[in-house]
């Protein structure tokens, strides 16, 4: 059985992330990680804050803090939100860590030794007002490709094209706003991607055919256009320093590596952070996950604008080291979740941010909605109306109401233990067959990382319980055949326990509540709930007669018209 290494694109440090960031990388990675763990796989889910680069310096400057202090605070703030969403990282690290600095510098040394890094004199934008060179995001202007007037000097947020600062029209300093700019000569290190292009292409040909079309098409588009040599250093105060043993003059000049060189390496760095943070007596072999890791299946999760870096630039970096570092096996890419047709944007503060979402409702509301509407095949658009409909119909009515009706009615008529009643009949056998089939469908979609379809299959599993309950109508059965009503309720209670197991990847807190309804022998809390086989699901024999149970509080409260009006006013709806 393969070990599973899972990473999600590193959230940038310059503020709390919006729901688009959550659904485009971290949340689906968590759902998949939880599912694999429940199926008995060994899983390592790694993420970290991406802390270097221009935006970190600009955000720290705006906050009036030293950049290292700003990043430390923001790391804790982001981690608190992700804990609130119950993201089950095995480790959530920091790209500014000592481990990442050491590994990044070693990668650079290996690339240089193999002839894939060279020094080049380049002409770069210099701001007289600021008295400094302006790297990539320190410059804003109009994109020459799509006309977006807030494009950054490294990439246009609107059309995703990579840019050079000198490409921008009407360029201005992001620090001072000054347009008094000139081009001067400076020296930087370049990764010679052109010399690695054929090897990257061969690797994508061999590995990318199974990727989603979104990921493979973006990677192949970059290859078709040709890989250009790319500067991997910047004139910044904050970043991984260029190692002085190889480039003493550049190190003395304070050059640091470009954030997109060191950020993907942080996946490895954070794994070493995880190993170094092991409790006393626990030996964690971080390198076995990344070096000669033939038994590891590595899956990356990211939004489409991150695809080029993960499918072309980072693989080129790894290939150029000539060392057997693990390369990604499967890239799960997502389109964008928009907000009423406009882009969610951290920089523009447009849309719903994850901390605000948790202030409104518990995480499971958001987790289920986001995955049920994940932007897999195309961009999707958030609206409060769609959110309300999904919560009220799927979570409150289909799942929550089923649990409450079954347990409340059984408590009222049979007391606080699971009733016995008749032996299962034809209706129960038909239900068991339906449940086993739906469970296999659900598992198939999760195995293939089809999250919207997995959510549909999970909803169908919940709906099957409601259909059974309506057909059997225990509130009518009990008038003429108490044992028949008891069988119906016992069967429905077994469905509740089943839902508490299989819903865990999507709604972990509610799933735990459903499992906790019944006084069953406690499972290992660290391992979590064991998954169920199709045979077990079909038999519906998890909870026996006489098992004590309790009626939990309402699992999901309905969203009211008053709620919608207040939220539309607070967050805007346009």
Which residue ranges make up the annotated binding site for Zn(2+)? 143, 146, 156, 159
For the four alpha carbons of 101, 102, 103 and 106, in that order, the dihedral sign comes to positive
Per-residue CA distances from 503 to 307, 336, 458, 527 (Å) = 30, 25, 7, 16
Find out whether 321 and 114 touch, Cβ atoms under 8 Å: yes
- The closest alpha carbon to 96, from 239, 268, 255, belongs to 239
Q: Put residue 479 in one of left, alpha, beta given phi > 0 → left and psi -120 to 50 → alpha.
A: alpha
Chain length of the chain: 574
Longest dimension (CA), the chain: 92
Distance from C-alpha of 29 to C-alpha of 451, rounded to nearest angstrom = 10
Cβ burial of 499 (10 Å; 0-12, 13-18, 19+) is: buried
Find out whether 117 and 317 touch, Cβ atoms under 8 Å: no
Per-residue CA distances from 155 to 58, 166, 305, 529 (Å) = 17, 12, 9, 44
Q: Indicate the annotated binding residues for ATP.
A: 346
Paired strand residues for 331: 300
- Dig out the tokens for 557 from the structure: 């409260």
Distance from C-alpha of 438 to C-alpha of 427, rounded to nearest angstrom = 16
- The closest alpha carbon to 399, from 500, 520, 534, 548, belongs to 500
Q: Are strands 337-339 and 380-382 parallel, antiparallel or unpaired?
A: parallel
1: helix, strand or coil: coil
- The closest alpha carbon to 456, from 557, 365, 373, 364, belongs to 373
Long-range contacts, stretch 225-230, CB < 8 angstroms, 24+ apart: 226/194, 226/197, 227/193, 227/194, 227/196, 227/197, 227/200, 227/312, 227/316, 228/193, 228/194, 229/190, 229/191, 229/192, 229/193, 229/194, 230/190, 230/191, 230/193, 230/313
Q: In what order do the strands lie in the sheet with 3-8?
A: 91-94, 43-49, 3-8, 296-303, 330-334
386: helix, strand or coil: helix
Q: Are strands 296-303 and 3-8 parallel, antiparallel or unpaired?
A: parallel
Q: Indicate the annotated binding residues.
A: 143, 146, 156, 159, 346
Find out whether 224 and 89 touch, Cβ atoms under 8 Å: no
């Amino acid at each position: 059985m393969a070990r599973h290494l899972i990473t999600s694109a590193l959230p940038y440090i310059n503020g709390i992330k919006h729901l688009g960031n959550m659904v485009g990388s971290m949340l689906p990675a968590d759902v998949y990680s939880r599912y694999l763990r429940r199926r008995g796989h060994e899983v390592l889910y790694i993420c970290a804050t991406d802390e270097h680069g221009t935006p970190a310096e600009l955000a720290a400057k705006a906050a009036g803090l030293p950049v290292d202090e700003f990043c430390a605070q923001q790391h804790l703030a982001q981690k608190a939100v992700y804990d609130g969403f119950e993201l089950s990282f095995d480790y959530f690290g920091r790209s500014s860590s000592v481990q990442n600095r050491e590994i990044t510098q070693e990668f650079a040394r290996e690339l240089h030794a193999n002839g894939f890094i060279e020094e080049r004199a380049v002409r770069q934008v210099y701001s007289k007002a600021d008295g400094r060179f302006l790297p990539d995001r320190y410059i804003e202007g109009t994109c020459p490709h799509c006309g977006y007037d807030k494009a950054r000097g490294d990439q246009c947020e609107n059309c995703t094209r990579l840019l050079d600062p000198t490409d921008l029209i009407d360029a201005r300093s992001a620090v001072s706003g000054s347009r008094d700019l000139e081009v001067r000569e400076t020296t930087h290190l370049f990764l010679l991607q052109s010399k690695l292009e054929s090897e990257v292409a061969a690797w994508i040909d061999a590995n990318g055919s199974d990727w989603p079309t979104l990921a493979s098409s973006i990677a192949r588009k970059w290859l078709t256009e040709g890989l250009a040599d790319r500067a991997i250093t910047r004139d910044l105060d904050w970043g991984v320093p260029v190692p002085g043993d190889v480039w003493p003059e550049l190190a003395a000049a304070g050059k640091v590596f470009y954030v997109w060189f060191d950020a993907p390496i942080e996946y490895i760095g954070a794994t070493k952070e995880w190993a170094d943070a092991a409790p006393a007596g626990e030996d964690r072999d971080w390198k076995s996950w990344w070096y000669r890791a033939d038994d590891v299946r590595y899956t990356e999760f990211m939004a489409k604008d991150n695809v080029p870096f993960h499918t072309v630039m980072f693989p080129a970096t790894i290939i150029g080291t000539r060392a057997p570092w693990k390369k990604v096996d499967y890239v799960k890419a997502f389109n964008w979740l928009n907000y009423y047709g406009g882009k969610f944007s951290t920089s523009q503060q447009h849309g719903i941010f994850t901390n605000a979402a948790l202030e409104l409702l518990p995480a499971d509301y958001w987790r289920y909605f986001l995955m049920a509407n994940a932007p897999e095949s195309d961009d999707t658009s958030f609206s409060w109306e769609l959110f309300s409909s999904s919560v009220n119909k799927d979570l409150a009515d289909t799942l929550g109401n089923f649990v409450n009706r079954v347990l409340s009615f059984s408590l009222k008529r049979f007391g606080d233990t699971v009733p016995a009643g008749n032996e299962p009949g034809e209706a129960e056998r038909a239900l068991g067959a339906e449940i086993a089939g739906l469970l296999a469908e659900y598992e198939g979609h999760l195995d293939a990382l089809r999250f919207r379809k997995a959510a549909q299959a999970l909803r169908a599993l919940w709906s099957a319980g409601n259909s059974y309950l309506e057909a059997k109508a225990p509130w009518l059965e009990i008038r003429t055949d108490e044992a028949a009503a008891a069988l119906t309720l016992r069967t429905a209670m077994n469905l509740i326990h089943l839902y508490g197991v299989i819903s865990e990847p999507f709604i972990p807190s509610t799933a735990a509540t459903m499992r906790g309804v019944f006084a069953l022998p406690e499972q290992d809390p660290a391992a979590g709930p064991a998954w169920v086989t199709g045979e077990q699901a079909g038999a519906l024999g998890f909870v026996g007669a006489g098992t004590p149970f309790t009626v939990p509080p309402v699992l999901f409260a309905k969203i009211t018209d008053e709620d919608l009006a207040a939220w539309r006013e607070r967050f805007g709806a346009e």
